[in-house]
Structures are given as C-alpha cells and as structure tokens.
Chain A
Amino acid sequence: MMEKLRSSAMVKRLFSSFAVVAVLCVMTGPPGSTATPMAGITGSFTAPASFFGLFRGQRWMVFFVIALVFFGVWTLWLKRGTQIKGAVSKTMAQPKEVLERRPVRIGVYAVFLLIALVLPHVVTDPFWQDAMVEQILVFVLLALGLNVVVGFAGLLDLGFVAFYAIGAYATAWVTGALPLPPPFGIHLDSFAAIPVAIILAMVSGVILGTPTLRLRGDYLAIVTLGFGEIIFIFANNLTGITGGAAGTNAIPHYHFHISSLNVIWGLGPVPYYYLTLAFVIVFLIIFSLLNHSRIGRSWTAIREDEVAAESVGINPLKYKVMAFAIGAASAGFAGSLTASQITYVSPSIFTVQFSINILVLVIFGGMGSITGVVVGAIIIQTISMFLIHTPPAGFQTQDLYIYIGALLMVMMIFRPSGLIPSKRRKREIRLSEAGEGHMDEVLTGDTP
C-alpha cells in the first residue's frame, strides 16, 4: 500500500514541489557557513531579508501554500499543457503575421532605433548610463558574434570569452599599456587598435578552429572551454607580458583630432553609447546579410545534414572555420571597444562564467535569430543590472546566476527554440522531435 502510494506520480510531484520551494528558501536565505550549515534554511524563515522574511508571522503556512500552489500549477500544466500552449501560440500568431509585413517591420525597426537614440537622455541615472554601454550594448555585440558560431553554424563554443580577452589585450598591447612593448615601439591610438584586435582574434579563431572543428558537438565544447581557460591563465600568470592578475590600466580613450576638430570619448558614458550603438547597427546589418547569403545557407545545410551538404560540394570544415573566425573577430572587436572604454584590462573579467553568460543570451533570445539574440541580450542584461542596482528583499548579488538559470530553464520548457526563434531553427527542433531530422546521423545505407 505504502509502496504503491510512494511510486505514484502524483505523490512524487507533491514531494518535488516541496523540494523546489525548499530550494527557493535556501537560495533566498542568508549564506551558511561550516559552523552554521543550516543557516540558509532557518534563516529563510527568520531573517527579514529573505523571501519568506517578506511575510512576517505565519511563515510555515506561507511555505506550504506556495508549495501547494506550485504543485497545482504543475499538475494543471501536465493535464492541460498542450491546450494552454496551443491557445498561447494562437494569440501570438496574430501579431506575428502583421509583423512580417515589410512596411510594418521597417516601422518597428525605426521606432526601436528612435528609442535607442533618445534613451541616454531619458535615463540619466549614472549607473544605468554606464550599464547601457558596458553591460548591455557590448553584450549585444558579443551575443551577435556568438550567434554566428552557435546559431548559424551550430557549433557549441564555451570559450568565447577567449577572443574577447584577445581583443582587449591586443588593444592594450598596441596602445602601449602592457608591460610588453608595442610592436616596433609605435603606440597606436585606440581607433587604430581596432583592426589589430580584430585580426588577432580572427587569426586565433582560425588557429584554434582548423584542427578542432573536425570534432563534433560535445568534444568541440570541451576544447573551446579549455581554450578559454588557457587564455585566462596566460593573462593571469604571464606577469611580464600581460601585467598579471592586476592587469593594466592607462589604455587611452577613443579620440580623434582633425585640424581644429577635437573629439574625445571618455568624458562620460553617453558618447560611448552612441559609438557602440553605431557599431551594433553595422554588425546587425552585415550579419543579417550574411545569414541570407550563400554562406548562411551553407551553414544551415551543414547543421542539418553534414553528409548531404558534402554531397553537394560544401566543404564543412571551411565553413565552420569561417563561422568561428567571424565570431572571434566580433568578440575581438567588442574586447577592443571595452578596453578603450573602461581603460583597463584584468584577467578577472575573462572568466568561464562570462562565456556562459553570453551563451545564455543567445539561447534565451533564440539561436540563429538576430532579432531574438538582440532582444534576449537586452532583456537578460537589463534584468541582471536591475537586480544588482536595486536588489529586492532576499536577493544577494552572488545569487544572480541562480535566477538567470531558472529563467533559462523556464524558457526551455515553454519555448525551447528561444524568445524570438529563427524560423529554420524552430522547424529543425520540431522535426527532430517528430523523429524526422537526422542531424546527428553520420552515414546511411547498408553498412556491413
């Protein structure tokens, strides 16, 4: 009897609901220590700065109510999930059809551009003005670059930050900010450093890509993860070249002087905002053209069926390296931009978490969809910045990625192809769910 009860799905779900809410308690409670390992749980009921601290008085009651509500929603979803999904996608389909009309779309772009242009004059909080450049626009740029690798070519890159670091350090190098003297003793200004950063990042992309892109899926992910770590450790330990853990500062701001015209970026975040915005728009346009070109189609073909792609004359390795190099170049560019803006580089920026963060932006927004990636990056980075700037009760900065992770999980359950999915990617996911796709089959036929 007990055995039967325990194995029933309903009971399992009930216990899981309690477990989830308990995890929520631990997450929002104060951090524990070896002396008080249970502080997370007990604290979440007693400390005022925790989730349950919000509800004074009957905290245990609140715990049960939330767990039961969670259980109820879960059960309902299992029973009526497909219907709810259908209803939602029906209501979503209507505005989408309108959006797909060309004049409407151009109008929407124009409105967004206008908003982007006036934004720094509306939002005057210095925290947000900085965040818009350093945490949002630069991340949009990075997400666009990673989208070429992950979304277009279907290569899982977990070490994207390496190219960002290479771009940043290259800028520091040629502007003379590193202990390593710049090439030929010439100190370039920051604008001139951009092409150097792009080329160095691109070359390292090709050098890493050529031998490793023969690997498939998971193996490639491991190799790129390792590469990211190598670059991090180089930056951290090669004190004589990179300045070590302390990094280096004194990278010059962007500036140009033509006769009497003197323009210097660096007096505040707003000039940088417009500069970065301009670059974002340029990248948006060229990547969109790239996606709809012969090269974009070849990437799709390789992603869907590599054997068939080869049979029509596509060299998969060439196109994969190309995607890798283009992604690396845009990361190098973003690195150069960041270095000149914040005027310093230090290894602590270039962590694995940074790579994962960018990957989350791409997956959340919709792999392969340029609009999706931009919107996804803006939304996630804005949420992150909001949580850091005005933390709600119970929020601790070190918990940020727990919340972002939870958001991503919810997204994957309800919209596995991302917020604004690319049409092709969406179809691929649907087809492979139906057992139609053969993305990972190697060979067909009567092999012995």
Chain B
Amino acid sequence: MSDDTIFDVQNVTLRFGGVVSLNDVSLHQNRGEILAVIGPNGAGKTSLFNSLTGVYQPQEGTITFKGRDGKSMEIIGRKPHRVSNAGVARTFQASRMFSAMTTFENVKIGAEDHHGIGAIGAMLRGPATRRGEHESDERTIELLDFVGLRERANVISSSLSYGDRRRLEIARGLATDPQVLLLDEPAAGTNPAEKIQLTSLIRRVRDEMGVSILLIEHDMKLIMALAERLYVLNFGSVIATGTPDEIRSNPAVVDAYLGTSADAAKGA
C-alpha cells in the first residue's frame, strides 16, 4: 500500500446466502482522486459502498482505509459509526435525510461531536456544551454556504427539491470532516441545470476541501466530466479499469452495458 493510497480493497467477496454480490473485488483509490465505479443495475455497486462503510460485512478479503493521521485501519468488522468517525462520509442512493428536521439541523447533526457521553453537561447546559453548540452552528453555516443552501437553512428538508437534497446530503457528509466522500448516484433525479451545478460542486469539494471522491453514477456525461479513473463492475466482479477514454473503447464494458458485442459496439 503506497503512501498516497486512501482506500485499498483486496479480494473482497460478499455473499448473501448463495448469492454472490461481490466476487473477489480488488481496487484502490489514491488520496485526492475522483474515482468512479460504474456498472449495470445489480452489478454490486451499492453493495461495494455498503461494504466500504461498514454496513455490510464481506466474508472474505480486506478493506484498508488510511486516515488523516496516516494510520491504516481495517474497515471490515467495524460498525458504520466507527467508519464514519475515522473519516469516511457517504450519501445514499435514495436520499436519506432526516426528513422532519430542517436543512440546518440535518447538517448540524453531522457537524457535532458524537464521542463521549455528555448527558449531564447537556442537561445542565454547561459551558462545554454551549461552546460545542456554537462551534457546530458556525461549521454548519459555513457548509451551507459552500453547497449553496444557506437561504434554505430553515426549510424542512423533505420539502427540498431533488437537487437540493443531494447538496444537503453532501453538506451533511462533509460536516463529519471526512477524508473521503462516497457519493451513491448523486445525479439521480436531478435536472440538467442541477447536474451542471452538482458537477462543479463535487469538483470543488475535492479542490477546495481536499476530500477524495468515490462515486457511483449512471449518468455517463457526468462520469466522463468528473472521474479521473474508473472501475467497471458487472455481476459482482471488476471487469475493467482505466481512464474514461480507455473505458469508453473497452469492448468488455460495451458488452456489459449493451448485451451483444460486435454489432452493438459498432453502434456505440
């Protein structure tokens, strides 16, 4: 594992009973890289995400994450909240906000320090609690500014548009001060104008905040505009890897997407 690697996935296999969801998957991500994982529906992309964030526990293989202090950590076997605390943030395919809370509260939850107990302090609203509240408030406002949701801060999050929900999820993920942000189909359900905004937002997250990006996406235009490197999954296995240009001309990829090989490849 080289110094600038952030994620190193080695031979991961994930099974649900007899169904193999991920089959001997290996991939790695460099620090500061925008990496994309593509593949047809059911290829195992979200399973991969869930494995990377501790939601699923693969039976075989290792997933090593290198945190901000340069210490390596094994993801498999850790609970999702521990993975989050280590510096891995994510968004969900079907956006999962805390829908009865305001935009502001959603982000603030991410910004808060969830270590320790602090119940007595919270009951008495001691100085440490008040200081913590103040810090989270400031960080929340900063992030809402960053994603452009400041004016929508006091809106109940379920009344936000799809595009705004995506941005809210990104802000909430960033609030946890991550090293890497995992985006699960961020452009799903957004309109073309929102897609353009989203593309530039994702790039700014990497450029201005130095957060590495790992994304799953179906929208090829967005992938080609953003990703520096791609992995292609099909039936739970990595079938190709490379730059967007290499992938575009890879016959195996075309085959996976379009079903038949020669004729369709010509058409594409």
Contact = CB atoms under 8 A, between A and B. Distances in A.
Nearest to B115: A313
Interface in B95-147: 96-101, 105, 108-110, 112-114, 117-119, 122-125, 129, 132-133, 136
B81 A314 contact: yes
B79 interface: yes
B164 interface: no
B79 A445 contact: no
B12 interface: no
A284 to B, nearest CB: 12
B123 A322 contact: no
Nearest to B93: A445
B21 interface: yes
A289 B124 contact: yes
Interface in B135-166: 136, 156, 158
A440 to B, nearest CB: 13
Contact of B156 (A298, A304, A427): A427
Contact of A290 (B49, B99, B122): B122
B123 A290 contact: yes
B122 A445 contact: no
A433 interface: no
Contact of B108 (A297, A309, A431, A448): A297
Contacts of A289: 122-125
B55 interface: yes
B42 interface: yes
A446 to B, nearest CB: 5
Given A310-B80, A448-B21, A448-B47, A298 B109 contact: yes
A33 interface: no
Given A311-B84, A314-B114, A445 B96 contact: no
B101 A424 contact: yes
Contacts of A314: 81, 109, 114
A172 interface: no
A389 interface: no
Contacts of A427: 99-100, 156, 158
Given A312-B175, A424-B101, A446-B41, A301 B109 contact: yes
Interface string A44-64: 000000000000000000000
A293 B114 contact: no
A326 B43 CA distance: 45
Interface string B23-37: 000000000000000
Contacts of A223: none
Nearest to A422: B100
A308 B93 CA distance: 12
A315 interface: yes
Q: Which bucket holds chain A's interface residue count?
A: 35 or more
A300 interface: yes
Contacts of B101: 297, 300-301, 304, 424
A312 B96 CA distance: 12
Interface string A310-348: 111111101000100010000000000000000000000
Contacts of A322: 117, 119
B90 interface: yes
Chain A's interface: helix, strand, loop or mixed, by majority? helix
A312 B172 contact: yes
Contact of A298 (B114, B176, B184, B236): B114
Interface in B72-101: 79-82, 84-85, 89-90, 92-94, 96-101
B98 A311 contact: no
B84 A308 contact: no
Contacts of A130: none
A220 interface: no
B50 A443 contact: yes
A140 B5 CA distance: 57
Given A314-B81, A446-B45, A326 B97 contact: no
Interface in A410-427: 424-425, 427
Nearest to B21: A448
A311 B109 CA distance: 11
Contacts of B53: 311
A448 B44 contact: yes
Contact of A312 (B16, B99, B109, B122): B109
B46 interface: yes
A438 interface: yes
A298 to B, nearest CB: 7
Given A304-B99, A424-B101, A313 B81 contact: yes
B50 A445 contact: yes
A301 B108 CA distance: 11
Contacts of B85: 313
A310 B109 contact: no
B1 interface: no
Contact of A326 (B90, B93, B108, B119): B119
B105 A305 contact: no
B53 to A, nearest CB: 7
A294 B47 contact: no
Contacts of A294: 112-114, 118, 122, 129, 132-133, 136
B268 interface: no
B19 interface: yes
Given A294-B112, A312-B110, A315-B79, A424 B100 contact: yes
A362 to B, nearest CB: 19
Given A444-B94, A446-B45, A295 B50 contact: no
Contacts of B79: 310, 315
A437 interface: yes
9 contacts: A289-B123, A300-B100, A301-B109, A304-B98, A311-B80, A428-B99, A431-B158, A444-B46, A445-B94
Given A304-B100, A427-B99, 18 more contacts: A286-B124, A289-B125, A294-B112, A294-B114, A294-B122, A298-B112, A307-B96, A308-B92, A314-B109, A315-B79, A322-B119, A326-B119, A424-B100, A425-B100, A437-B99, A444-B93, A446-B93, A448-B44
List the 5 closest pairs (A to B, CB-CB), nearest first. Answer: A445-B46, A293-B122, A427-B100, A310-B80, A313-B84
